[in-house]
């Protein structure tokens, strides 16, 4: 998954030969999880067809204020389109369109949307080298920079005229990379490495059976995805769950037992600045594991268990500058038990949830938490979706580490 996943992106296409690359750009943006809508200047349709772009984006392509072929059609509201977008990317951006953008000319739908946009605007110039260096073009660049529009620099190479020099539109992959890096630099967790544990552990009884719990891993995975969307580099140590996660900033390490999770967590703890341990780790594991499946017999089965290593407490003992977060699932005396755990395990923050709360607990898509900080602040939250809960937790962490 890319940092662009879930982003709503308007792609503006103007009348340059580089417009043929826009089809590849749409495909890349969609592949990275973005919802893409395309706006074309009327002349750009001579270089690439709306049908191609509509098929690739899976959205209607806009090029005029009204559909001239349909007398009953509603107009294309440029303000609604502008407000819909999280990002506006104009690629290719010709010298003509750049000049109009810089001087407030509004003679087509694309420019009307540009003048209404409140989101970040990126533009990728595409023109011949003499046009690129002309004083009027440089003046357009200067004005657009004052407007805080973001230029994706043109590359040097062979141009449509046959000349070689600067002015060739950046390749679609370079445009996507540029935008991703630009977004990341402003994110609150950029530069932070976060260790997260999620899911249950399974402690083998024999080759078939195990001791486990009902944890689905949904909370930990939500925290991992949200942290990555905020720019963090995430190491996710996951017990056996059915969830899948793909993100360029998330490394998944799969484990099964409490011992494996202990080892993996300790291997990565020194390199992280924040550790969030949401996994439901088994407290006990069988002393002896049968080599063959235990046959069903009359009467009872006695099994001797030993305590597993306490991962959270062990990290609390060795932490240096790490911000350490634990989870507490309680059924009685919730607040007091969570406070005791926070102090006993040397945590900076603990997230409490209760099996007594409707919408909380295992396997749900929602959770109801109370966040307790080291300085004894208690912040309860209503039932929310786990992605929203993850955001609340991370916001608390950000405030604490910047306090």
Are 249 and 166 in contact by the 8 Å Cβ rule? The answer is no
Neighbouring CB atoms inside 10 A of 282's CB total: 22
Which backbone phi and psi does 10 adopt, to 5 degrees? -90, 130
Annotated catalytic residue within 59, 77, 213, 346:
213
Are 102 and 133 in contact by the 8 Å Cβ rule? The answer is no
Are 203 and 258 in contact by the 8 Å Cβ rule? The answer is yes
Partnered with residue 62 across adjacent β-strands are: 39
DSSP letter (8 states) at residue 202: -
Spatial distance between the Cα atoms of 38 and 116, rounded to a whole number of angstroms: 16
Spatial distance between the Cα atoms of 165 and 167, rounded to a whole number of angstroms: 7
Partnered with residue 235 across adjacent β-strands are: 195, 251
Spatial distance between the Cα atoms of 247 and 276, rounded to a whole number of angstroms: 18
Spatial distance between the Cα atoms of 317 and 393, rounded to a whole number of angstroms: 23
> Quick check: is 346 catalytic?
no
Are 250 and 299 in contact by the 8 Å Cβ rule? The answer is no
Q: Which residues are catalytic?
A: 213
């Amino acid at each position: 998954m890319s940092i662009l996943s879930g982003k709503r992106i308007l792609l503006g296409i103007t009348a340059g030969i580089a417009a043929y690359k826009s089809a590849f750009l749409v495909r890349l943006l969609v592949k990275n999880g973005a919802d893409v809508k395309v706006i074309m200047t009327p002349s750009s349709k001579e270089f690439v067809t709306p049908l191609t772009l509509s098929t690739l984006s899976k959205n209607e392509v806009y090029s005029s204020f009204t559909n001239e072929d349909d007398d009953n059609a509603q107009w294309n509201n440029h303000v609604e389109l502008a407000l819909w977008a999280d990002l506006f990317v104009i690629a290719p951006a010709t010298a003509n369109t750049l000049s109009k953008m810089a001087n407030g000319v509004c003679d087509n739908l694309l420019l009307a949307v540009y003048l209404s946009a409140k989101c970040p605007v990126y533009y990728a110039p595409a023109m011949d080298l003499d046009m690129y260096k002309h004083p009027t073009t440089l003046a357009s660049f200067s004005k657009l920079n004052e407007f805080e529009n973001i230029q994706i620099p043109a590359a040097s190479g062979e141009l449509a005229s046959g000349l070689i020099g600067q002015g060739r539109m950046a390749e679609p992959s370079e445009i996507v990379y540029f935008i991703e890096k630009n977004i990341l630099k402003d994110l609150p967790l950029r530069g932070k490495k976060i260790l997260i544990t999620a899911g249950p552990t399974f402690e083998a009884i024999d080759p078939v059976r195990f001791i486990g719990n009902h944890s689905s891993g949904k909370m930990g995975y939500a925290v991992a995805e949200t942290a990555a969307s905020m720019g963090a580099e995430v190491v996710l140590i996951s017990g056996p769950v059915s969830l899948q996660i793909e993100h360029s900033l998330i490394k998944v390490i799969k484990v099964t037992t409490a011992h494996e999770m202990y080892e993996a967590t300790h291997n990565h703890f020194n390199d992280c600045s924040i550790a969030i341990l949401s996994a439901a780790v088994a407290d006990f594991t069988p002393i002896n594991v049968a080599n063959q499946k235990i046959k069903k017999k009359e009467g009872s089965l006695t099994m001797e268990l030993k305590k597993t290593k306490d991962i959270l407490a062990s990290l609390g003992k060795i932490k240096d500058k790490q911000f350490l977060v634990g989870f507490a699932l309680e059924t009685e005396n919730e607040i007091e038990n969570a406070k005791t755990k926070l102090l006993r395990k040397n945590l900076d923050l603990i997230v409490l949830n209760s099996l007594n709360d409707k919408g909380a607990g295992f396997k749900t898509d929602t959770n109801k938490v109370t966040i307790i900080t080291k300085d004894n602040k208690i912040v309860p939250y209503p039932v929310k979706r786990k992605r929203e809960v993850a955001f609340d937790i991370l916001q608390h962490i950000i405030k604490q580490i910047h306090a």
